[in-house]
Amino acid sequence: MRSLQPVRGTQDLLPEVARRHHLVVEGARAAAELYGFAEMATPIFEFTEVFARPIGEHTDIVAKEMYTFNDRGGDEVTLRPENTAGIVRSVISNGLAQSVPLKFFYSGPMFRYERPQKGRFRQFHQIGVELIGVAQPQADIEVIALGSRILGELGIGDRVELELNTLGNPECRAAYREALVAYFSVRASELSEDSRRRLERNPLRILDSKEETDQSVVRDAPSFAEHLNPESRDFFDQVRAGLDGLGINYRLNPRLVRGLDYYTHTAFEFVTSDLGAQGTVMGGGRYDGLAKLLGGPALPGVGWAAGIERLALLIAEPPLPSNPVALVPIGEAAEVVALKLAEDLRDRGLQIDLGYSGNLARRLRRADRIGAFAAILVGDEELARGVATVRDLITGTQSEVPLAELPTWLWALSAERADAS
């Protein structure tokens, strides 16, 4: 039945997958705190213009990929396709522009109507950081260093490569745009249909086209380096020197671009060859013109976003949750007592899985299935003597333990199992 299947491009985060997502988010959150980034969250949907104005009405994201609808009040709203615009909107609407610098970390779902592929979903999840209010290249260096640290601590630092480029300031970017239009116009007939459409609106995007016909034309396109003015060159040199000083390796990629005019100076991506075509795991750059475009003051900003699904595919299998203890009551009287006993043990920090029904063998099979290291058996006879039978599910041995001593006994057995592993 179709209605019982997840919508195409979405997935259920079952416990094994959710554990991987949790590891990524918690690792990133802890690293971001070391750099002074505070966590924040924006609404999952915004007024459409929050995304349409900065992304551009004629881009594929706005025209084809955004989930946009009119709510019951008649307002046009959009499920967020990315989070930078929402965070900058939040800075403006909450009057935070006077409190810069601002350093934010976020995590959560985003939505784009794209063709699902490995590591790409229509509802996907991202972690990200934004550093707002710092115009100096030190901000670029810091957010890249944070990204590099997170990837390293997730154990995938040696599986990714940092690609780096400069988009210059608005003046040299405009000059380069004119040079590209002049070059591609002469060879427009050789371009793909998408690139011909971008020629007037977004010529820089032609540079990162994956179409073979475009790549042969792009190969001889003018270089951005030839159009950098001294200010832009000096900014990029400082970013590179900072990364060199931190020992962060990178590869210059002159074809790494951002097609929107509010992006300036640094653009970067951490890429891998282990995920096929979906090789970018973290990407970002400087967006000094975004706040003004949204109607706020001129605020510099730099940040990155990373796909949790893609990172989760790369990391090692996370450890299972701490082993629980199975509490198996036998008889009606024991079932009443077991509820209170389970709460008392949880108060002492023990993870207790309470068996609800079924015979003893069935409840012990469940204990084995959930990875319990011990089972507490409580029946009428044990209750009469104020004890419980504790079965070590690793060795099979059993011991009678006074109920008052259960927490201490179980913690000792748990530590013994941890040492053995």
- Any domain includes 175: no
pLDDT score recorded for residue 58: 54
The verdict on 287 and 356 lying in the same domain is no
Report which DSSP code applies to 63.
Answer: I
Domain count, the chain: 2
CATH of the domain at 100: 3.30.930.10
- Any domain includes 283: yes
The verdict on 240 and 348 lying in the same domain is no
Question: Residues of 400-421 as b/e, b for ≥16 C-beta within 10 angstroms?
Answer: ebebeebeebbeebbeebeeee
The verdict on 413 and 274 lying in the same domain is no
127: Cα separation from own chain's centroid = 3
The verdict on 37 and 133 lying in the same domain is yes
The verdict on 156 and 78 lying in the same domain is yes
Question: Can you give 177-193 as a three-state secondary structure string?
Answer: HHHHHHHHHHCHHHCCH
Beta-strand pair 161-166/325-329: unpaired
Contact 127, 106 (CB under 8 A): yes
> Of 254, 282, 314, which residue sits at a domain end?
314
- Any domain includes 185: no
The verdict on 108 and 65 lying in the same domain is yes
What is the C-alpha to C-alpha distance for residues 94 and 296, in angstroms, rounded to an integer?
11
The verdict on 124 and 234 lying in the same domain is yes
* pLDDT, averaged across the chain: 90
What average pLDDT does this structure show over 233-261? Answer: 92
In tens, the pLDDT along 230-246 reads 999 999 999 999 999 99
Structure tokens at 30: 């802890």
> Of 314, 334, 353, which residue sits at a domain end?
314
The verdict on 305 and 329 lying in the same domain is no
What is each CA distance from 254 to 6, 222, 257, 392, in whole angstroms? Answer: 40, 10, 8, 62
The verdict on 37 and 77 lying in the same domain is yes
- Which of 83-92, 252-261, 381-390 is modeled with the greatest confidence? 83-92
In tens, the pLDDT along 33-67 reads 999 999 999 999 999 999 988 776 556 677 688 99
> Of 264, 294, 314, which residue sits at a domain end?
314
Contact 46, 169 (CB under 8 A): no
The verdict on 288 and 155 lying in the same domain is yes
Sign of CA dihedral 71, 89, 30, 154: positive
The verdict on 50 and 75 lying in the same domain is yes
pTM of the model: 0.87
- Any domain includes 94: yes
- Any domain includes 191: no
CATH of the domain at 378: 3.40.50.800
How many residues are there in the chain? 421
pLDDT at position 145 over 60: yes
Q: Which domain holds residue 251?
A: 2-169+229-314
pLDDT score recorded for residue 420: 62
Instruction: Please state at what angle helix 137-153 crosses helix 15-34, rounded to 10 degrees.
Output: 140
Q: Which residue has better confidence, 144 or 337? A: 144
- Any domain includes 180: no
The verdict on 308 and 336 lying in the same domain is no
- Any domain includes 212: no
- Any domain includes 198: no
